[in-house]
Amino acid sequence: MSVRSWLKETLTVPAGWEWISEQRVPDVIGKITVITKHSRIEPLEEGSVGQLRHTVVLSVFSPLQTIATAEDSLDDSVTVLLTEIDAHDQIRFESAEKVISPNQNYFGWDISLSVITNPEPEEA
């Protein structure tokens, strides 16, 4: 299973949010949207053989186009999501930064994560 798919299955986002498991920002966002950017894979130096560290950014955008209303629509929910991420033993929360979507229409947060994976068991 890909790290993007695993995150989607593992993390609970509020009802009504959309989750896009690829680095694609739609031209129009109609509901709060999470976009997954899986940008790097490296060995986990402090781990056992085969463990990997994946760098992932979850971009969470509000469909509301004014800063104040967009922030209000995200603040509590993003905080709940960060708390869930922080409590998970395979996900390390690195930072969260306010951002504007590439098309400059939507405000949101980029949540930077490290996801630790273990080697897949060999089939007998």
Structural domain boundaries in the chain: 3-117
Q: What is the pLDDT along the chain (124 residues), one digit of tens a residue?
A: 789 988 999 998 888 999 998 888 888 999 999 999 999 999 887 766 778 999 999 999 999 988 899 999 898 889 989 998 988 999 999 999 999 998 889 999 999 999 998 877 666 5
pLDDT at 51: 85
pLDDT at 45: 78
Which helix (H) or strand (E) is 117 found in, with range? Answer: strand 107-117
Contact 21, 58 (CB under 8 A): no
Q: How far is CA 74 from CA 44, 53, 61, 69, 110, in A?
A: 32, 28, 8, 9, 12
Contact 91, 77 (CB under 8 A): no
3-117 is classed CATH 3.40.50.2300: no
Please, what is the Cα angle at 44 between 41 and 45, to 5 degrees?
Answer: 130
